[in-house]
A and B are shown apart, each in its own frame.
Chain A
Amino acid sequence: MTMTAPASAPDRSPLTPPTAAPARRRRRTTTSRIGWAYASPTAALVLSLFVVPIGIVFFMSGSDWSLLGGNQGTNFPENFTQVLAHRQFWPSVRFTLLYTVIATVLLIGLGLGLALVVQVTSRWSGLLRTAFLLPTALGLASASLLFYALYSPQVGPVSRWLEQLGLTEGVVSILGSPAGALWGTVFLIVWRFAGFYMLLLLVGLQNIPGDVYEAAKLDGARAWQTFRSITLPLLRPSLALSTIMCVTGSLLAFDQFYILTKGGPDSSTMTVVQLIYNLAFESKRDLGMAAALSVITLLALVVVNVFQLRAMRGSSES
């Protein structure tokens, strides 16, 4: 739903009468003034709480700006070099990328699987859709708190299940080891978002015309062949959109790690956005460095998305 807004919007009021030129011009300036009047709440919000803050963050990233002391003059490019040299910078980048790959592969894979399961129209699949979608109505913070209790060895059942399955020695704290913290968080995210990607891919599935399948059936194609050479290629736009959304969301992961692991154990699950928060409010209390990392994150995200959009366009042309 990003950049492909309907470009053929009606650019001219239908009321412009074919009269003399000055009258038409006057009418046109009036309509454009009315248009601006209607757009002004949007413009005011976007300007004051989006454009100006973006400007400020660039300014802050070049300033010596502590949380309590405020602006203390220029500090360019030290904020950036300090961030790049920070001992948690590269580990957080590496962890964020690892998490993004795992979350995206699982969410898109499971989302596609669920979409295939519920695509038939029946009462039962309607119920299934509701069940899979229900977690998406929860807030990410509520869901994280829920799983925090679910994973706790004191009150939650999961630790005991893992022991009974022989996966752990005794009842251990799931979030207590780096691998457990990562996979525990991944499971939470898959639970919370799988229904969302199911829905996106379901739209794509339903847009594939039925006669294509008919033709394949007449040609004697097997189910797997049909899936691989018809469903997947025709689903590409939906898959690409889902992937872009999932990658962007995962690269910016914050709430789930802040609540479940606080970046631990031993900073092993520190994401980039968590490091921004940490630099600003916890370890350094340095808004300049936090702003510098925010700018780096913004630029990286723009590059990643331009790359993804280009790959998507390339694949839909071929």
Chain B
Amino acid sequence: MNARTSRLGFRTPYYVLTAGLAIVFLYPLIWTTVSSVSPQAGSAQVEGLGFNNYATLASYQAGLPHYLGNSLAISLVTVAVTLLAATFGGYAFARFSFPGKNALFLVTLSILMVPYATLLIPLTIWLKMLGLNNTLVGVGLVLAVFQLPFATFMMRISFEGVPKEIEEAAKMDGCGSFGALRRVLVHAVKPGLITIGLFAFLAAWNDFMVPLFLVGGENQPLPLALVNMRQQVMGVIDYGSTQAGVVVLTIPCVLLFLLLQRHYVNGFMSGALKG
């Protein structure tokens, strides 16, 4: 047996085993997608392939477009607020000295240590006092706060990685600190911004617990509406429309993941490296 065949003999089980693992990870996604258009008892799609489950979903209560719109509005608020606060905050923490700076940074990071539920119980009361109860903006803001530890940390190290000379050159040309930020620095920290924007979107788009505590009825985003839809049909559960809903929720996430995989991986890595 020469070296080549012995290597092949060693490699074949490796390929079989890893391909099997990959199938285990991909199978549930493929199964849902295929099932959502396949005939199933108790669903709108009884025979043949077709999109009847999606039609059921489209006309469920306020309708799929309405719940998708809610999800989109929440995600937009979260992404916009996260990007804004973390860009300015990261800049402040990286480049300025001011009293209370370290305390504010530590308090921001400590959001990670506090359970969602511990904040959501008082928030049900507090948002009412602020006039934000049962609103999409309220949910978006709360989700942005949960994004702040990662986003602020990420933007701080991004700004610290930009050479000071770049900023000083901009200031020589007559920019104030804001001008330097807007014209020069924002471009230098773009990878960080894409990463935190991506994470904020995925978190807000997919979140279930925050809307469960804070909104209901017309203001439900799609994940919450799907879970409630499943519960409302007692006895016979319409799995078909649930699967269709999962597919609708998943497609944007998978597309973003495949498009921005590098930024997605970098986001996790920067957390791991600095930990």
Residues on A lying within 8 angstroms of B by beta carbon are 1-6, 9-15, 28, 31-43, 45-46, 48-54, 56-57, 60, 114, 117, 124, 127-128, 130-135, 137-142, 145-150, 152, 154-155, 157, 191, 194-196, 199-200, 203-204, 207, 237-238, 241, 252, 254-255, 258-259, 273, 276-277, 280, 287, 290-291, 294-295, 297-298, 301-302, 305
17 inter-chain pairs at a CB distance below 8 angstroms, sorted by A residue, are A1-B153, A15-B171, A32-B96, A42-B104, A49-B119, A128-B18, A135-B28, A139-B205, A139-B249, A155-B239, A191-B24, A203-B269, A204-B272, A241-B275, A291-B121, A301-B113, A301-B114
Cβ of A276: which chain B residues have Cβ within 8 Å of it? 117, 121
Interface: B32 (CB within 8 A): yes
Is there contact, CB below 8 Å, between A60 and B125?
yes
Out of B97, B105, B111, B160, which one reaches A50, CB within 8 Å?
B111
Residue total for B at the interface (Cβ-Cβ under 8 A): 108
Cβ of B250: which chain A residues have Cβ within 8 Å of it? 137-138, 142
Q: Complex Cα distance A17/B166, Å?
A: 19
| Selected interface stretch from B1-9, B57-65, B87-95, B186-194 | B87-95
Is there contact, CB below 8 Å, between A241 and B272?
yes
Is there contact, CB below 8 Å, between A5 and B153?
yes
Q: Complex Cα distance A114/B20, Å?
A: 13
Main secondary structure of the interface of A (DSSP, over half): helix
Out of B121, B164, B253, B261, which one reaches A287, CB within 8 Å?
B121
Q: Which of A54, A155, A273 has the most CB of B within 10 A?
A: A155
Is there contact, CB below 8 Å, between B274 and A128?
no
Cβ of B88: which chain A residues have Cβ within 8 Å of it? 38-42
Would A35 and B96 be within 8 Å (CB), given that A149-B35, A297-B117 are in contact? yes
Would A134 and B206 be within 8 Å (CB), given that A42-B85, A157-B31 are in contact? no
Interface string of B226-237 (1 = CB under 8 A from A): 110010000001
Given contacts A56-B122, A147-B28, A298-B115, 9 further A-B contacts (CB under 8 A): A9-B94, A10-B164, A37-B92, A42-B148, A150-B31, A155-B240, A204-B272, A252-B115, A254-B116
Q: Complex Cα distance A224/B213, Å?
A: 49
Is there contact, CB below 8 Å, between B209 and A255?
yes
Q: Complex Cα distance A134/B31, Å?
A: 15
A59's nearest neighbour on chain B, judged by CB, is B122
Q: Complex Cα distance A57/B114, Å?
A: 12
Cβ of A50: which chain B residues have Cβ within 8 Å of it? 107, 111, 114, 119, 145
- Chain B residues 56 to 107 lying within 8 A of chain A, measured CB to CB, are 81, 84-86, 88-89, 91-99, 101, 104-107
Cβ of A49: which chain B residues have Cβ within 8 Å of it? 119, 123, 141-142, 145
Out of B18, B81, B96, which one reaches A38, CB within 8 Å?
B96
Q: Complex Cα distance A12/B168, Å?
A: 14
Out of A54, A130, A258, which one reaches B261, CB within 8 Å?
A130
